[in-house]
Amino acid sequence: MRAIDPSGLHARPAARLVKTMNAAGVTGTVAKGERVADLHSILEILALGIDRGDIVELELSEGEAEVLERLQDIFEVVEPA
């Protein structure tokens, strides 16, 4: 996934990410390089310092298609290198 929000993953989109995960009943993590954050913790997500254009990896327990559809203005799917 690539972060596409013009300001990166700052507080507002990070909060929406957590809210989306909670509403969908999905658990998972987001990783930037070697650092990993729980997708239910806004502080952990913000600590990753995800900027526009950064490549991150989402690992979800289930419901990936539904979650990705809701987050299209924050992330875009990119093929692994």
What are the pLDDT digits (tens) for 35-50? 999 999 999 999 999 9
**In the chain, where the domains are located:** 2-76
Q: Which CATH architecture has domain 2-76?
A: 2-Layer Sandwich (3.30)
Q: Are 20 and 52 in contact (CB under 8 A)?
A: no
Per the CB < 8 A criterion, the answer to whether 56 and 78 are in contact is no
What is the Cα–Cα distance from 35 to 68, expressed in whole angstroms? 21
Distance from C-alpha of 26 to C-alpha of 49, rounded to nearest angstrom? 23
Token representation of residue 24:
């969908």
Write down the pTM of the prediction.
0.83
- Specify the higher pLDDT residue, 64 or 32: 32
* Separation of alpha carbons 17 and 15, rounded Å: 5
How far, in Å, CA of 13 to CA of 66, rounded?
A: 17
